Amino acid sequence: MTAARDILPPPPADLVTPGTALFLDADGTLLAFADDPDGVFVPPGMLDTLDTLHRVLGGAMALVSGRAIAGLDRIFDRTAWAAAGQHGLERRDGEGHTTTIPVDTEELARLRYVVHDIASALPGVRVEDKSWSVALHCREHPEREDELDRIAPAIAARFPAFELQPGSYVYEFKPKGMDKGVAVAGFLDTPPFRGRTPVYLGDDLTDEHAFAVVNERGGASVRVGTRTPSHATFTLPSPAAVHAWLDSVNATLTQGAARAR
Ligand SMILES: O=P(O)(O)OC[C@H]1O[C@H](O[C@H]2O[C@H](CO)[C@@H](O)[C@H](O)[C@H]2O)[C@H](O)[C@@H](O)[C@@H]1O
C-alpha cells in the first residue's frame, strides 16, 4: 500500500545487518543529479564506503539502475558488484554472470528513429540512447516537461512491445514486463541474496516497483528526497545524507562484528 503520510522517519543505522541484501539506486540516491547524464561523479569516499559494505555483506549488495550496466561500470568502476541495468533488462549476479532479457530489436529500431526525430524538433530536449531502451531528458529545460507529458505517452502508444517509465525530468521507453521490482525479486532468488532481508534505497518513481517488492518480503524501503506518494517506509533527504547514513551503517556493523569476537 502507498504510504499516505508525507513524513517518514529516517532509517536507523542498524537497519542493515550482516543478513541484509542491500539494493542501491544510482542517480538521485548515490549520485547527485547533473544536467548531463554523463556529468555525474561518485563523491569522494563513497567507493570506500561501498567496498566495505560489499565485503561485510558477503557480496549481497547490488546497484539497481535505469542506466546500462556498462554505464554503471564507467561511473563506479566496480565490475565485481552485482548490478541490474536498464531497469532489470540486464542483470549481473553476485558471481559476475550477466543475463539480458530478449528485446524486440526491430521495434526498438523504429522507436529510436521516432524518438530522435521528435526530439530534433524540441530544442533543449536531450536523447539518451541505451542499448535496450531510449530516454528523453529535459532537466536543462524543465519548461519542456508539460510538452513531454503529452508527447511521450503518444509515442509509447505506437510501440506495443514498449512502455513508458517516467522519472526525474526523464521519459524512458523500455521493453514491457521488466521493472526494478522484478529485478530485485530475481536477485532475491539467487545467492548471495537468497534468504536475506532486503533493504532498498531509491529516489524516483522507478524505485517504487522495488519498494513494493521489498516491503512484501518483510524488508525496508528508503525514499531519498521528498517525492510523494511513496511505498517507502523510511526517508533520507539527499545523496549526501545517503552517504553519511551508509557510513553510520558501516560503523554499526563493524562495532557489532568487534563485539561478537
Ligand atoms: O535508476 P537510476 O540509477 O536512478 O537511473 C535513472 C536515470 O538516471 C539518469 O537520469 C537521471 O540522472 C541524470 C544525471 O544526473 C539527469 O540528468 C536526469 O535528469 C535524471 O533523470 C540516466 O541518465 C538515465 O539513463 C537513468 O535511467
- CA 1 to centroid of ligand 1, rounded, Å: 26
Q: Kindly tell me the number of DSSP H helices and DSSP E strands found in the chain.
A: 7, 12
What are the residue numbers of the active site? 25
Residue having the nearest C-alpha atom to atom 23 of ligand 1:
37
Neighbours of 105 (CB within 10 A): 11
Cell 557510513 sits at which residue? 247
DSSP single-letter state for residue 115? H
* CB of 85 shorter than 6 A to ligand 1: no
Is residue 132's pLDDT more than 80?
Answer: yes
Atom nearest to 37 CA in ligand 1 = 14
- What ranges make up the beta strands (E) of the chain? 20-24, 61-64, 82-85, 90-92, 98-100, 126-129, 134-137, 162-167, 170-175, 197-202, 220-224, 234-236
Facing residues of 31 across strands? 27
pLDDT in tens, 40-89: 999 999 999 999 999 999 999 999 999 999 999 999 999 999 999 999 99
Short-list 50, 58, 30, 132, CA closest to 91: 132
pLDDT in tens, 156-171: 999 999 999 999 999 9
pLDDT in tens, 202-231: 999 999 999 999 999 999 999 999 999 999
* CB of 208 shorter than 6 A to ligand 1: no
* Average pLDDT value for residue range 23-35: 97
Structural domains of the chain sorted by starting position, each given as residue range(s) with its CATH number in brackets: 13-100+179-260 (3.40.50.1000), 105-175 (3.30.70.1020)
- CA 204 to centroid of ligand 1, rounded, Å: 9
* DSSP code string of 119-165: HHTSTTPEEEE-SS-EEEE-TT-GGGHHHHHHHHHHHHHT-TTEEEE
* CB of 138 shorter than 6 A to ligand 1: no
Backbone phi, then psi, for 63, in 5-degree steps?
-85, 140
Atom nearest to 135 CA in ligand 1 = 25
Q: Which of 24, 25, 27, 211 has most ligand 1 atoms within 8 Å of its beta carbon, as the pocket-test mutant?
A: 27
Is residue 257's pLDDT more than 80?
Answer: no
Chain-wide mean pLDDT for the chain? Answer: 95
* Average pLDDT value for residue range 108-131: 95
Is residue 2's pLDDT more than 50?
Answer: no
* CB of 40 shorter than 6 A to ligand 1: yes
Atom nearest to 87 CA in ligand 1 = 1
Atom nearest to 167 CA in ligand 1 = 21
Confidence of residue 4 (pLDDT cuts 50, 70, 90): very low
* CB of 179 shorter than 6 A to ligand 1: no
* CB of 62 shorter than 6 A to ligand 1: no
Is ipTM strictly over 0.90? yes
* CB of 131 shorter than 6 A to ligand 1: no
pTM comes to 0.95
Exposure letters 92-104 (e unless 16+ CB within 10 A, then b) = bbbeeeeeebebb
Short-list 209, 213, 220, CA closest to 174: 209
Cell 529545460 sits at which residue? 141
CB of 250 within 8 A of CB of 53? yes
- CA 132 to centroid of ligand 1, rounded, Å: 15
